A and B are shown apart, each in its own frame.
Chain A
Amino acid sequence: MSIDKDTAARVAKLARIKVEDDALPALAQEFNAILGFIEELNEVDVEGVEPMTSVTPQRLKRRVDGVTDGNQQEAVLKNAPDAREGFFAVPKVVE
């Protein structure tokens, strides 16, 4: 599996990271080095092996689906780059 410039651009888009066109070939090359390393996994016989979901064999605990916290608007917005009138502000999403 070899990653070309277009694939690198597609992955960058999916990851929502802006990568300039002239940086794409180097990025594709780095991906290829890493993926080449990962290819070693194809040597392993994984037939019938379950993919791991939890490293410790414990059942997730259940809890009552109740409100435990709230009324913290100020604290929630405290670190926002742009907060107005009690909301997070972002660029216009719909025309």
Chain B
Amino acid sequence: MTELNKLTIADARDGMRKGDFTSSEITEACLTEIDGAGALNAFVHGTADIAREQATAADARIKAGDAPDMCGIPLGIKDLFCTKGVPSQAASRILEGFKPEYESTITSQLFDAGSVMLGKLNMDEFAMGSSNETSVYGDVVNPWRREGSDAKITPGGSSGGSASAVAADLCLAATGTDTGGSIRQPAAFTGITGIKPTYGRCSRWGVVAFASSLDQAGPMTKTVRDSAIMLQAMSGHDAKDSTSADLAVPDFEAALTGDIRGKKIGIPKEYHMDGMPAEIEALWANGREMLKDAGAEIVDISLPHTKYALPAYYVIAPAEASSNLARYDGVRYGHRATLGAGDAIDDMYEKTRAEGFGAEVQRRVMVGTYVLSAGFYDAYYNRARRVRTLIKQDFENVFNAGVDAILTPATPSSAFGLGEMKNADPVQMYLNDVFTVTVNMAGLPGVAVPAGLDSQGLPLGLQLIGRPWEEGDLLNHAYVLEKAAGFVSKPGKWW
């Protein structure tokens, strides 16, 4: 038998329907792989019993016919998603022991479609990080290594566990979330595909909130087709999330025609950053050629406020985080500090939050508190929101000029070594998101597609940015790029 854990969603779906193998068999193959992959630290809470039960039910459903596409597909679920009765900690100490009494809308939809949950996946604490080094569970390790080196490499963040698990074939696909690049950057670092849909496409209900105006969930998969299939199942209006869009969800897989003739692809000049490695420039140039060869028209465009997206993000995201994370007070759920005699309620809050939040989360909550505090609200927060309006207008202008999609590098470098950035100032780490964060600021869909290897043998990704609500068209562009790039490399198994 082929190694079933290595299947794509599409092949698993088709094979299960033909009776070539069952969901239970694929699920067992994945559980065995997960057991052997402790060194990657991707899965942090196993749910083997739930998985086996769901797989059995899925097999019955497939046998009866008329099962949805995601039926029987074993998935990893990012720890940010609340899953009923299963630890959901957002990789934070402050949610230690928390077992939600409810199920997030997205996981409900996936389970209703018959998908199988293998376990919860490691991530940066509260999704704040770009290297998966802020997790209470410890660092996630990228299955990829530099050629001739056994140094541990970051899978990126914050959806590092999801990326590592999919790249290492521990699951067929995984859920991720993306506030500033947390799906696309780790996807690029691990040679997989990940899409952040338009803001409002997927419900945020039951997903632990980081920055509510920026957070969106999306799939992390082995292929573009798999992203289309899984996104379909994750999308849709939810009355429990007032920002979720009441729009019909088109058939994303049907949009993958492979035909982009006559489409206009914008190349933003502001994404040529000083000091960007020549390899990234070359990759980007190759991407342009591939889309041109497929019949698209390549046009130079300008997104003049690009440079300000990251600083504006580092006002808005911490501001929203300081507000969202105020709920972790040691009263209703999670960790509460041991109190001394005479400690009052403020001591309880302060000690609980000091013990429960890691350094990066504390830093961002405090930065957010500062920019929202009396006297600074206008200077920082309102100014950042004005800049955000301008960033969105930049995109609207190019789309109004007829551009169908925008091509950029996904990240300014390939994956770096774990620990290599430990002594860098926080801003250096933030620069990882320089190409992805604009998309969150403008609420647009963006997809990262693996497009090549660098000289060290590490994967590199390209990003395509689409018009709002046009994920199907965007994925079709990604599909063309995927076929042209022909990226088939996999990490050699060392774990």
Contacts and interface: CB of A to CB of B under 8 A. Distances in A.
Contact of B351 (A11, A12, A18, A54): A18
Given A33-B426, A41-B312, A46-B387, A78 B373 contact: no
Interface of A: 3, 7-8, 11-19, 27, 30-31, 33-44, 46, 49-56, 58, 60-61, 63, 72, 75-76, 78-82, 88, 90-93
Q: Specify the main secondary structure of chain A where it touches its partner.
A: loop
19 contacts: A15-B353, A16-B350, A17-B353, A18-B353, A19-B354, A27-B366, A31-B367, A31-B370, A33-B425, A34-B426, A38-B311, A38-B315, A41-B384, A42-B383, A44-B308, A51-B389, A80-B332, A81-B336, A91-B347
B64 interface: no
B442 interface: yes
A31 B427 CA distance: 10
A51 B386 contact: yes
A49 B390 contact: yes
Given A40-B307, A41-B312, A58-B200, A17 B345 contact: no
Contacts of A34: 314, 363, 367, 426-427
Contacts of B257: none
Nearest to B425: A33
A15 B364 CA distance: 10
Interface of B: 97-101, 198-200, 213, 239, 242-243, 245-246, 305, 307-308, 310-312, 314-315, 322, 326, 329-336, 339, 343-351, 353-354, 357, 362-363, 365-367, 369-371, 373, 380, 382-390, 392, 425-427, 430, 441-443, 468
B471 to A, nearest CB: 14
Contacts of A15: 322, 353, 362, 365-366, 369
Contacts, number: 170
Nearest to A60: B242
B354 A55 contact: no
A93 B331 CA distance: 13
Contacts of B243: 54, 56, 60
B350 A18 contact: yes
- Of A30, A33, A81, A82, most buried by chain B (CB within 10 Å of CB) is A81
B351 A90 contact: no
B390 A88 contact: no
A10 B357 CA distance: 18
Contacts of A18: 347, 350-351, 353-354
A41 B383 contact: yes
A23 to B, nearest CB: 10
Contacts of A27: 363, 366
Given A19-B354, A31-B370, A80-B332, A63 B345 contact: no
B98 A79 contact: yes
B387 A44 contact: yes
A28 B55 CA distance: 52
Contacts of B311: 37-41
B382 to A, nearest CB: 5
Given A37-B311, A91-B344, 7 more contacts: A38-B314, A40-B308, A49-B389, A51-B389, A58-B200, A58-B245, A61-B242
Contacts of B468: 56
Nearest to A75: B101
Contacts of A30: 363, 425-426
B425 to A, nearest CB: 5
Given A16-B349, A30-B363, A30-B426, A56 B443 contact: yes
B385 A91 contact: no
Contact of B315 (A41, A46, A50, A79): A41
A63 B240 CA distance: 11
